[in-house]
Amino acid sequence: MFTLVHLDTPPPESLKSQVLQMVVDYLGDISPVSLTPSNPLYQLYQYVVGYEVHLYLQAMDGALDSGAQLVLALDDLDPARVLGFALYLPAQDDPEACTLAYTAVQASHRRRGIARAMLQHMVTRRPHADLACVPGKVPTFEAMGFQVLAAHGPQVLMSTRNQRADGLVAVQDLAPIFQSKEVRQIHAYLVKQHGQTAMREAERQRDRQLDQLAERARALVRERLT
């Protein structure tokens, strides 16, 4: 069993570290790029997405309506253990709206209602909830009450209502992360480890994957909306 905890201030370091570890462990599940560990770029995206989530958690402040909010599922037998998390962004100018940024559940505890419970908790607070996911995740979110709205690149836009919320959401700008010294160092290490040719092929593989996901997203939306 599990207990849900809602946070609007930065979580304790022990819980934060577990959330960030889940981002690293389940990158393929939560990233719109959907890279596999066999792609040399996987390590780079682990850092980028992990740092993005770190920035959201660091900036959480209950005094700001625009700050990120965090729902944690904690193990009843070991309340210090995080079984799942849902990180969402409340709209700044709409008290009912929010956008789900990232969610994940420990592989050992999936199919036990944890993800559904976390999202239901979020929707109870912010009933007009939007999200974007890769096409393969659409049935999962449909089962939780979200409906398909449109395709957006490699992702499918979904909402608890039949239209997107109009509220403004404060999202992290990823450009500075990709341009950071740390990312350049990781890339240089990967080039040294795998070689320039392999890294160029990894980038082409990523781009092909994104193109395929975009086509699948468009096809799925056409199927759902016709």
Give the per-residue pLDDT at 33: 87
With H, G, I as helix, E, B as strand and everything else as coil, classify residue 7: strand
- Give the N- to C-terminal CA distance of the chain in Å, as an integer: 40
Please tell me the distance from the alpha carbon of residue 1 to that of residue 119, in angstroms, as a whole number.
Answer: 17
Closest to 39 in 3D by CA, of 186, 194, 177, 184: 194
Please tell me the distance from the alpha carbon of residue 136 to that of residue 54, in angstroms, as a whole number.
Answer: 26
Give the per-residue pLDDT at 170: 85
Please tell me the distance from the alpha carbon of residue 197 to that of residue 6, in angstroms, as a whole number.
Answer: 46
Amino acid residing at 8: D
DSSP-assigned states of every residue in 156-178: EEEESSSS---S------SHHHH
Give the per-residue pLDDT at 189: 97
Closest to 60 in 3D by CA, of 11, 98, 23: 11
Give the per-residue pLDDT at 78: 97
Closest to 40 in 3D by CA, of 177, 186, 140, 172: 186
Give pLDDT tens digits along the chain (226 positions): 999 999 999 999 999 999 999 999 999 999 988 889 999 999 999 999 999 999 999 988 765 545 899 999 999 999 999 999 999 999 988 999 999 999 999 999 999 999 999 999 999 999 999 999 999 999 999 999 999 999 999 999 999 999 999 888 888 899 999 999 999 999 999 999 999 999 999 999 999 999 999 999 999 999 999 9
Give the per-residue pLDDT at 63: 56
Residues 6+ away with beta carbon under 8 Å from 185: none
Closest to 216 in 3D by CA, of 136, 132, 131, 130: 136
Give the per-residue pLDDT at 147: 98
Give the per-residue pLDDT at 61: 73
Give the per-residue pLDDT at 66: 53
